Amino acid sequence: LSQLESTELFIEQEVGTAIHQVMELISATTGSNEAFEEAIEHTPKRNLNNLKAFLKQIDEEKSILKMESGSFGINISEEQIHQGFERVNLTVNEDSEIFINGILRGFLLDSSKFEITDEEGKTITGIISPELTEEKLLEYDKNYLNKSCVFHLNFYKTIFTSGTEKMSYELLEIKPN
């Protein structure tokens, strides 16, 4: 690997942050069930397949993993790699597209989060699909904030090896009611 050549300081910082987050995810996955469950709560579900494929390759080679980025580094043993792969591999993921009637409460653009209230008054939060542009979200905010509408969501249910279940949502679209 070689160092990125960049004149853009912010791009370098974003790449560094992303690498650090990936290293933390790998470390949590190979550390313990609790650390893995906590890390997955903040990770888009589509990234689990990539994590599983990455750990599978290292596990099949019966290798270790050592990564460094700046002052942060991880050194993961062959046994920890195997345990991490098994942890991800045995995690059951169910997903479906759903439609919910509710009220848009708002967006957090920097963290790609949304919040709605369904017809029963239950608050639902989740991530915003990367397919939705900032312009589209601003349009949704203008047209639907604090108004009744229909939310098109991906619903994810993750069942961990510990038996713990976590549910999450991804906003795909908002339509008028």
pLDDT digits 0-9 by tens, 52-73? 999 999 999 999 999 998 888 9
| Residue 84 CB neighbour total at 10 angstroms | 26
pLDDT band (50, 70, 90) for residue 145: very high
Q: What gap in Å lies between CA 134 and CA 127, rounded to an integer?
A: 13
Q: Which residue shows structure tokens 């070689």?
A: 2
- Does the pLDDT at position 114 exceed 90? yes
Amino acid sitting at position 143:
N
Length of the chain (residues): 177
Answer whether 130's CB lies under 8 Å from 1's CB.
no
Could you tell me which residues come within 8 angstroms of residue 34 by beta carbon, excluding any fewer than 6 positions away?
none
For the four alpha carbons of 60, 63, 69 and 73, in that order, the dihedral sign comes to positive
CA dihedral 133→137→138→139, nearest 10 degrees, is 100
Claim: this prediction has a pTM higher than 0.75:
no
Q: What is the pLDDT of residue 2?
A: 52
